Amino acid sequence: MCNFCCTFAGVMDFGRYDREDLQEALRVLHEGGIIVYPTDTVWGIGCDATNEAAVAKIYALKQREDSKSMLVLLDSAAKLDYYVDVPEAAEMLLAETSPQPSPKGREYDGEYSEAKPLTIIYPNARHLAANLIAEDGSIGIRITNEPFSQALCAQLKRPIVSTSANISGHPTAHFYHEIEEAILNGADYVCRFRREDQTPHEPSSIIKLNADSTFVIIRE
């Protein structure tokens, strides 16, 4: 097991999310809007990762140059090869960190098993908003094991942008109460789930993979 990508496993209890909260977030995403939502690391700003206009709204809200790409979340590693080339080296990493699918029909019961989040930067991104992809054609993707963001991705049936809910250069919002008013007011919808949660979360490990399966560890 890789010591930089699977350093702990535990059970996190966040309570049940509200289906109406989830459905409203999905409605906004479908309509090209942007949301503020909890992720497997920090609070994030998200949109449909295939919608270039929606991605542009996030850059504007964060006051960030669009030359700085943002990562996206997916609910399943099985969907990766539609969006990126998946070098052989990714298979071991994904096996250690990807969430296991829930039994069909099973609802989220307030708990989920968590391994340290892992963001992998893949080569040759495709089928995503052009202004989301880095100049070298790569994109960072994380398979989320957090229940709300996982459900969003699964039901939207597309990747969701995940960038920290702060103006560029300002402190990262680890908890809901740390999010700046400008971000909350600028979003089309602010999710209710986990607003009271004070559980600390580790930042994700970041690994950049090359087409030849060589890789660089950017953050352990």
Quick check: 100 pLDDT over 50?
A: no
For the CA atoms of 8, 146, 154, 193, what is the dihedral angle to 10 degrees? 180
pLDDT of residue 98: 53
Q: What's the 3-state SS for 21-52?
A: HHHHHHHHHHCCCCEEEECCCCEEEECECCCH
Kindly report, residue by residue over 179-189, the tens digit of the pLDDT.
Answer: 999 999 999 99
Q: Would you say residue 8 has pLDDT above 50?
A: no
pLDDT at 210 over 90: no
Domain ranges of the chain: 12-98+114-219
Instruction: Convert the pLDDT of each residue in 132-167 to its tens digit.
Output: 999 999 999 999 988 999 999 999 999 999 999 999
Q: Tell me how far apart the 2 most distant CA atoms of the chain are, in Å.
A: 45
| 56 membership: H or E segment, kind and range | helix 52-62
Amino acid at site 44: G
Architecture of domain 12-98+114-219: Alpha-Beta Complex (3.90)
- Rounded to an integer, what distance in angstroms lies between the CA atom of residue 32 and that of residue 34? 7
Residue with tokens 């702990």: 8
At 114, is the pLDDT very low, low, confident or very high (cuts 50, 70, 90)?
low
